[in-house]
Amino acid sequence: MDSGLDWHYARAALEWQLELGADEAIGETAVDRFAAEVELQAARAAAAVAQAPAGGGAMPPQRIDEGPDPVAVAQQAAAAAATLDDLREAMAAFEHCELRRGARNLVFSDGVAQARVMIVGEAPGRDEDLQGKPFVGRAGQLLDRMLGAIGLSRAENVYITNVLPWRPPQNRDPKPDEIAMLTPFLARHIALVAPEVLVVMGNISCDALLGKRGITRLRGKWAEAQGLPALPMFHPAYLLRQPQMKREAWADLLELKAKLRAGA
């Protein structure tokens, strides 16, 4: 049927709708989707009756997911790790996180074990994935300068890790289930290092350790995580994008220095 609508105008209108988020074509005839769902459920019920045992006994309930709970598996594996080397091996053997399949390396840690300060970042980026160490790109270089300004160094008195040991595709934010299944390893990591204070860098880290997000509101205020004093701070990658926030980061570094001087 010729509607008389200009082809170019119609295409422009369609592209505009796609930009707005329309992802489904709706026909001119109304469809009662509730009735369709009822019919589908009735068909499933009929099929279940047809497959029922001849003796009339009830069919045993079927589990949708027969696989193990990844969080429970992680908790068990983490608890069994008696050393940092054990923990690294347990994480490398953990098969339930899909991130590991697209990553080049497991990014475990850097710095000095049993350091006074333990920094928890978010997830590896491209440089970290290539080298297998946390904070080695531009953000890592900035972090080193920040630590050096208050007399700290990953070579002497700082230990660094991330919430996630594998790089998410395209550096996307980790999903809630990914954070949940890897948090038991992080908790065990902190227990084995036994630092005096934690520095929690970025929203993902605050989510995993504090159960909160909103780093602009949280930063600079001491909290408690895993039974330790924890200081939320801006992630160095954020400071590279927002250099005007370095003043707040400097104030947080001075707060950390004062805490260490007072004996945590």
What would the mean pLDDT of 179-188 be, rounded to a whole number? 98
Digit-coded pLDDT (tens) for 227-255: 999 999 999 999 999 999 999 999 999 99
Residue 131 backbone dihedrals phi, psi, to 5 degrees: -95, -15
C-alpha span between 148 and 252 (Å, rounded): 14
Q: What is the pLDDT of residue 67?
A: 77
DSSP state of 232: E
What would the mean pLDDT of 142-155 be, rounded to a whole number? 97
Of 163, 245, 240, 250, nearest in space to 208 by CA: 163
Please work out, in degrees rounded to the nearest 5, the angle formed at the alpha carbon of residue 229 by the alpha carbons of 247 and 172: 65
**Average pLDDT over the chain, rounded to whole?**
87
Strand partners, 232: 200
Task: Tell me whether strands 110-111 and 117-121 are parallel, antiparallel or unpaired.
Answer: unpaired
In terms of DSSP H, where are the helices of 80-210? 84-92, 99-102, 126-131, 138-148, 176-193, 203-210
Q: What is the pLDDT of residue 255?
A: 97
Q: Are 194 and 226 in contact (CB under 8 A)?
A: no
What would the mean pLDDT of 212-220 be, rounded to a whole number? 96
CA distances, 250 to each of 145, 149, 161, 257 (Å): 11, 9, 21, 11
List the single range of 47-56, 122-131, 170-179 with lowest mean pLDDT: 47-56
**Predicted model pTM:** 0.74
